[in-house]
């Protein structure tokens, strides 16, 4: 039910955005570094009739250096929003800096909330 949207999002965020090379994956890869991206289902809400509104958090791992990560956040966000919305899989509702927990410690990341039906 959600695999097509997941693949479309991963494909949309693959490329170079704001000077940063990003590789989209359908699921979180076992090993990853700055530039890795994957969608996570956030919520699924019942809509009218048989429709569902699905919220996705698209994670993009940024630099390990906080200042560089925040600069990357600002540089890549506009182009990523355009790329995601160009796929017609949904619209970007919000974005926020987050951290991704790994066994080696937390990594800075960008989380883009995308809503789709």
85: number of Cβ within 10 Å: 14
pTM above 0.85, yes or no: yes
- Per-residue pLDDT tens for 94-106? 999 999 988 888 9
What is the count of structural domains for the chain? Answer: 1
**Proportion of the chain above pLDDT 90, given as a percent:** 76
- Per-residue pLDDT tens for 78-98? 999 999 999 888 899 999 999
Question: How confident is the prediction for the chain on average, in pLDDT?
Answer: 93
| CATH number of the domain where residue 56 is located | 3.30.70
Tokens encoding 13: 């965020």
Residue 61 has pLDDT above 80, yes or no: yes
- The C-alpha atoms of residue 77 and residue 112 are separated, in whole angstroms, by 9
- Domain interval for residue 27: 3-116
Query: Any idea which residue has 């698209």 for tokens?
Result: 58
């Amino acid at each position: 039910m959600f695999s097509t949207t997941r693949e479309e999002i991963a494909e949309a965020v693959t490329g170079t955005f704001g000077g940063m090379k990003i590789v989209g994956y359908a699921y979180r890869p076992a090993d990853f570094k700055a530039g890795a991206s994957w969608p996570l289902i956030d919520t699924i809400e019942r809509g009218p009739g048989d429709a569902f509104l699905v919220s996705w958090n698209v994670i993009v791992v940024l630099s390990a250096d906080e200042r560089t990560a925040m600069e990357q956040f600002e540089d890549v966000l506009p182009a990523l929003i355009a790329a995601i919305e160009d796929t017609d899989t949904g619209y970007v509702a919000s974005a926020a800096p987050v951290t991704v927990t790994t066994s080696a410690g937390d990594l800075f990341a960008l989380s883009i909330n995308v809503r789709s039906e």
